[in-house]
A and B are shown apart, each in its own frame.
Chain A
């Protein structure tokens, strides 16, 4: 597990906690919950750019490279999709949808790390 994984672990879990708590408090998606999901996207983007640099520099992905990039591309799509889905219906339930992004990104990051090393 590398730094990228731990960054996603921290930001993803924090985002999930913020969104789930907001959902439990019966709040609709607001700036805080949406920005926490945006933070997850930001970390994933850093992971994406960092990975491109590492491959460009000559580092080798131990597992199937296209599987790694597939996971990363899918993970990058999750936050925008969840935010879009949550602004369509602004109820507390949309916060739980936003909360699902953090843990999902976390699981996918763990898998990406397994593939890389």
Chain B
């Protein structure tokens, strides 16, 4: 996928720091998808809610990875939505998992604010928002 497009650089997010961000998102997309798939295949009935949530989180990471790698204003909006959902998810699930552990007998990526993953799930959407803000499409597009 060569980056030889006629897009202005402002409208791409897959260069410089963006590449690191995409790489980390890709790792989370793969691990979350694999984990959710494994949980659903082997022990879905034990905690359906947690495992559906795991699958949802995996989907969010996949969408974020793909949309960050794509140029253009539409993909920017999709990225923004995915990163915001991720931030919302990690905060809400993190809070619920602390105040009501019974609701989450099984860990998800977002439980305890992503403690099981070195709090990367909490930091990642913040960095994502910073990056998206710095590479927001120019207003003249509209």
Binding site for B on A (CB under 8 A): 64, 67, 70, 74, 78, 82, 85, 88-89, 91, 93-94, 96-97, 100, 104
Among B1-55, those with CB < 8 Å from A are 1-3, 15-20, 23-24, 27, 30, 34, 38, 42
A97 and B23 within 8 A (CB): yes
Among A64, A74, A78, A97, contact of B19 (Cβ-Cβ < 8 Å): A97
CB distance from A73 to the nearest CB of B (A): 10
Main secondary structure of the interface of B (DSSP, over half): helix
Interface size in chain B (residues, C-beta < 8 A):
16
Determine the residue in chain B with the shortest Cβ distance to A86.
B19
B16 and A85 within 8 A (CB): no
By CB atoms of chain A within 10 A, which of B1, B3, B16, B19 has the most?
A: B19
A89 and B19 within 8 A (CB): yes
CB distance from A13 to the nearest CB of B (A): 14
CB distance from A39 to the nearest CB of B (A): 19
Collect the chain B residues with CB atoms within 8 Å of residue A89's CB. Answer: 3, 15, 19
B38 and A100 within 8 A (CB): no
A70 and B34 within 8 A (CB): yes
A85 and B34 within 8 A (CB): no
- In angstroms, Cα B38 to Cα A94, docked, is 31
Determine the residue in chain A with the shortest Cβ distance to B14.
A89
A74 and B15 within 8 A (CB): no
- In angstroms, Cα B27 to Cα A82, docked, is 11
Collect the chain B residues with CB atoms within 8 Å of residue A93's CB. Answer: 15-20
Collect the chain A residues with CB atoms within 8 Å of residue B24's CB. Answer: 100
